[in-house]
Each structure stands twice: as structure tokens, then as C-alpha cells.
Amino acid sequence: MSDIQQLPFSQSCENNKQAILPQLQSLFSTTKRVLEVGSGTGQHAVYFAKHLPQLIWLPSDQVQYIEPLSLRIELEGSNNIAQPIALEVTQPWSLDPNAVDAIFSANTLHIMSETMVEAFFDGVKQHLERNGLLCIYGPFNYNNQYTSDSNRQFDIWLKHRNVNSGIREFEWVRELAHSASLNLLSDIDMPANNRLLSFKKT
């Protein structure tokens, strides 16, 4: 078995990366440095970096995921992807330099606790440059309603696994973003009952 075959693998990343890419190509057309929060297996990082050669992609995740993430980047990464950094959203973010002009995160807010989501937006407020972009991919509820039965089932599964997890309310996320000096630019319908939210820092 090859090194790549032994790495952690996310089928959802494989399923959604091609749908997300055109949106990022448009949103990040003038972006220079993207921080990805919660890079996980690294499949998104290596794919998006390869198709967005005009920018530097900076992966990050909790410390226990850094070793396999680094290996995937070593085996599959392009020359515009940086070495991943350990990042706990509730701790100071160790970025050098301290600001980036875009932040991307996929399928993370429903894994985090509410306290972690709040800390995530605090970190975005601190490290995202003025006029920078925040893009968040994943499922959201609207007006306290699920957008599909599959999302309802997914939310039940999340809460069964961890009572602090769960699909987040769009209105709450928008309020957190507003408190972090972020204005909603777009809310894009994506496959499999997901959304891509984009915000601009003022």
C-alpha cells in the first residue's frame, strides 16, 4: 500500500471539491494568501492550491492532525501550498505574518461547540485584513428550520456523537460575522444541501 493510500481520507471532500472550486476561483481572483481553518485530511488544501496558482494556501488544524496533513502536502502539494500550522481556535492564532487576505473553512462550524464558533470569529476579526474575504462551506439552518430531512438526520447524528456539535443557525452566524466587522457578500446554494457563505471585512 502506498503512503497516499494510508493517509486519512474524506469522501465528502472528494464529493464537494469540484463544486466549491469555481466559487473560490471567482471569490479569490485577487487574493494573495488564504488561511484554511480545519484542513483535516488536506484534500481540499492540495486541490484548491493547485487550481489557484496566484495565491499561497496556508493549511491549519489541531495539533493531532498536523502529521498526516503534512505528509499529504509533501506527497501531493504544489509549490504554492505552505507547511500547515497547528491552530486551536480558542487559543491565540500563530500566524506569521499576522494577517491574511482570505480565510476559508469547510465543514467545521457544525463540529465545533458554540464557544469555539465564537472564538473562530474572534480570530477572523483579529487576523483577516481589511477588505479580506471569509468563506465558510457547510450546512446551515434558516429561521430555526432544517433545509432538508437529510440535514435533520445529520444534526441528530452530530448531537449523538457530541452534544456540543450541531448544524448552526445562519442568522446567528451572520450576527457573529457582523460583530467581527464582516458583511455578508453572498449565500450560495451548493450540492447536498450545503451552502457557501462569503463575507467581506470592513
- Average pLDDT estimate for 76-105: 93
What is the C-alpha separation between 201 and 91, in angstroms, rounded? 21
Among 134, 133, 144, 151, residue whose Cα is nearest residue 194: 151
Per-residue pLDDT, 1: 40
What is the C-alpha separation between 157 and 155, in angstroms, rounded? 5
Domains and CATH numbers, the chain: 3-201 (3.40.50.150)
* 27-84 pLDDT per residue, tens: 999 999 999 999 999 999 999 999 999 999 999 999 999 999 999 999 999 999 999 9
pLDDT band at 98 (very low <50, low <70, confident <90, very high): confident
- Give the helix/strand (H/E) hosting 113: none
* DSSP H helix total and E strand total for the chain: 7, 9
Could you write out the DSSP letters of every residue in 42-105? Answer: SHHHHHHHHH-TTSEEEEEE-GGGHHHHHHHHHHH--TTBPPPEE--TTS----SSS-EEEEEE
Does residue 85 register a pLDDT over 80? Answer: yes
Per-residue pLDDT, 2: 53
Per-residue pLDDT, 99: 83
* 125-147 pLDDT per residue, tens: 999 999 999 999 999 999 999 99
Q: Could you tell me whether strands 128-138 and 194-201 are parallel, antiparallel, or unpaired per DSSP bridges?
A: antiparallel
The predicted model scores a pTM of 0.96
- Per the CB < 8 A criterion, the answer to whether 34 and 102 are in contact is yes
- Average pLDDT estimate for 9-20: 94
Length of the chain: 202
- Average pLDDT estimate for 192-197: 97
